[in-house]
Structure 1
Amino acid sequence: MIGDEIARAVASKAPEAGPMAAALALLDHEPGLSIRTLSAGVGLSHAGTVRLVDRLVSEGLIERRGHADDGRAVSLYLTPTGQQACAAVLEARGEVLASSLDVLSADEIAILAELSQRVLRSRLRDSDHSYRICRLCQHDACTNCPIDAELKERVEGSAG
């Protein structure tokens, strides 16, 4: 139910419904994403993501730049207009979450946060999946990201 409310709220602030809001949020969090990584985050095929990127570029929300290490690859960045659109999307998401959780006490929110972190960590498949899980996160507010912690733990576990 809350997910549906978030989807409606962010769609009302994004220039179009669908994965555009998630694309803006992901590019805000990680400027320079490739189309392949963005595709994993927004859940579209490569061709669908290319069409989404074309629309975002035509709307003046993102720009393509050459990749620093791979001349064939393209890096994606928000424009100032894209940053404003992203801020509106994330604000709408935050408003839904705040109004949904305002019935809980501070202690209850702490318990919910702990349980949610455990569930998120257990559901993570791989680093590409992390982009899908975190596609509408407000990353500057997520100071102790359970997904980043799980990815780091897995890397350290496989190295040792």
Structure 2
Amino acid sequence: MHDDFRTANLLGAATLVLSDVVVAETTRAASTSSSGAAALVVLLTDPGLSVTEVGRRVGLSQSAAARMVGGLENQGLVSKEPSWGGWVRLRLSDLGEQAARALLACRGEVLRQALSHLDEGEREQLGTLLSKLLTGLYRQPGDAEKICRLCDRSACVAGGETCPVGQTDRNHRVSDRG
């Protein structure tokens, strides 16, 4: 019989250490906070979002998001563009785009190093299991943006693959309309 408590504990330890290393390295690469790093990636993928929407996607209140965006603006990473009705769209500056790409490259290297301890078959099996786990962790429309806030979106769909979180989000949105 398999010990689910042990597996859960190992998963917890692995996710915590990976999270610690990824956050430390990406914030170093972008010279910003973890929420600032996530905001850079979000804006790289979806330029023109509002402060409130960026905050929602990185898990911040509107006021905390406004402070975070102000910091990114002061660093020259983000600019604000006025839109209709007083709404402000956010865009990455050239420096912000460079920082976002650098932190994604750094994140990717940290994760590839972690996977280097597995052989090719084990990495393939882990990919299948992680897809299943992520699908199970998805709860409601909008979760995809938060789950994938630091993801290199192009890596998830390389070679014609489908992002499991994105597909689950699309499936939920279709079933909610049906």
Report the TM-score when normalising by structure 2: 0.82
- Which stretch shifts more, 39-48 or 92-101? 39-48
Which protein has greater RCO, CA pairs closer than 8 Å, 6+ apart?
Answer: 1
The Cα of 1:84 is off from its aligned counterpart by 0.5
For the 8 Å contact 2:76–2:93, the answer to whether it is kept is yes
Counterpart mapping for 1:10-49 below 5 A: 10-49=26-65
The Cα of 1:158 is off from its aligned counterpart by 2.6
For the 8 Å contact 1:37–1:128, the answer to whether it is kept is no
The Cα of 1:5 is off from its aligned counterpart by 0.8
Q: Percent identity?
A: 32
Aligned to 2:126: 112
Report Cα offsets for 1:60-108 as digits up to 9, x if no partner. Answer: 11111234xx423221111111011111111110111010001112221
Q: Which amino acid aligns with 1:156?
A: V
Distance across 2 between alignment mates of 1:150 and 1:136: 18
Aligned to 1:153: 171
Distance across 2 between alignment mates of 1:126 and 1:76: 25
Counterpart mapping for 1:108-147 below 5 A: 108-143=122-157, 144-147=162-165
For the 8 Å contact 1:10–1:92, the answer to whether it is kept is yes
The Cα of 1:118 is off from its aligned counterpart by 1.3
Distance across 2 between alignment mates of 1:123 and 1:152: 15
Aligned to 2:69: 53
Aligned to 2:5: none
1:39–1:116 Cα change, 3 Å? same
Distance across 2 between alignment mates of 1:19 and 1:115: 27
Report the TM-score when normalising by structure 1: 0.91
Q: Which amino acid aligns with 1:154?
A: H
The Cα of 1:12 is off from its aligned counterpart by 1.1
Distance across 2 between alignment mates of 1:137 and 1:61: 19
* Gap runs ≥5 in structure 2: 1-16
Report the aligned-residue RMSD.
1.4
Distance across 1 between alignment mates of 2:142 and 2:63: 17
The higher radius of gyration belongs to: 2
Distance across 1 between alignment mates of 2:77 and 2:31: 9
Q: Which amino acid aligns with 2:117?
A: V
